[in-house]
Amino acid sequence: MKEELKCKLPKWYKSINSDNYYLVLSNDLDSYFSCLLLNKLTGIQIGGYFSLNDGLYLNSKYSKEKEPIYVDLSITHGKCFDNHLTIIKNSECINPNIITQDYYQKYNGSTLSFLCSLYDRDLSKYSDKQLNIMIAIDGWFAGYYKYNGKFRDTTIQWMKLFEVDKYLIPLLETHDAEFFYHFIDGYQLNSKIIIKNNHLYCSKKIYIPTCEFELVQKTSRSNLSKNQVENIYNTDSNSIITAAETFRNQYSICRKVV
């Protein structure tokens, strides 16, 4: 990752460990693969699961007396790795979009690709399948092809900032959008992780913790305008747990249910 971006990010990611932290998983494979990478690098285990519709689930064995790190979640307070654009500032959030508030210039790729860059993963050792996953997850390829390449320069700019361009751009040049849509379908990359009977479940065959999770904080989800979110935040900032701009000036937020 180029220093012009890395120097603007919080530095806590350099010293995290399994004795003091646990990971909070969200409902998609971007979060899942990101958690796998963080576990490989740091040994930190998944101890929580955040459902956008229901709330926060924890397993006491892995979370007790430890601090959470939310993965691929736009948390308003606390440590997280994220890739969403948001107006709510969280000083502990590690997010490449810290350098922009322009919806059309934002980083539109995965948390996984961001983490690979942040932790200086050697992509020369990655197979084409692994590199294609980095491009396909969260649809990073879309900006390169859609609207006759209208956002191609933005996609390339971010790949250069991440210093992954020499590995990923040749794949984009070789393939087309249909290739990546088929790739996503073939490897079930849009599969969701849910809670069933207090256990994690995914229709795609992946390894997920088999332990039991307990709902510890109920939430309600709303789709609101940017102005509505600002008004809620200014009135009661602690009530908002997550806030992400899903469309231009439109937000998905989760609020605490007391």
User: What does 69-119 look like in DSSP terms, one character per residue?
Assistant: EEES--BSSS-EE-----SS--TTEE-GGGG---GGGS--S-HHHHHHHHT
pLDDT at 119: 98
Task: Please count the structural domains in the chain.
Answer: 1
- 219-242: average pLDDT: 96
**Does residue 209 sit within a domain?**
no
- Using pLDDT thresholds of 50, 70 and 90, give the confidence band for residue 258: confident
% of the chain at pLDDT higher than 90: 99
Query: Taking 90 as the threshold, does the pLDDT of residue 136 lie above it?
Result: yes
> Would residue 123 count as lying in a domain?
yes
Whether 165 maps to a domain, the answer reads yes
Q: What's the mean pLDDT in 24-48? A: 98
Give the model's pLDDT for residue 1. Answer: 97
Q: Is 90 exceeded by the pLDDT of residue 19?
A: yes
Answer whether residue 220 is part of any domain. no
- Mean pLDDT of the residues in the chain: 97
Mean pLDDT of 76-104: 96
238 pLDDT exceeds 90? yes
Does residue 201 sit in helix, strand or coil?
Answer: strand
pLDDT at 65: 96
Q: Is residue 173 part of a domain?
A: yes
Range 26-32 average pLDDT: 98
- Domain presence at residue 202: no
Q: Would residue 208 count as lying in a domain?
A: no
The pLDDT, as a whole number, for residue 179 is 98
Tokens of 66: 């430890």
Structural domain of residue 137, as residue ranges? Answer: 3-186
Q: Is residue 218 part of a domain?
A: no
* Contact criterion met (CB below 8 Å) for 137 and 26: no
Give the list of residues 6+ apart from residue 117 with CB closer than 8 angstroms, or none.
Answer: 1, 162, 163, 164
Residue 73 is predicted with a pLDDT of 97
pLDDT tier at 10 (50, 70, 90 boundaries)? very high
Provide mean pLDDT across the span 112-117.
98
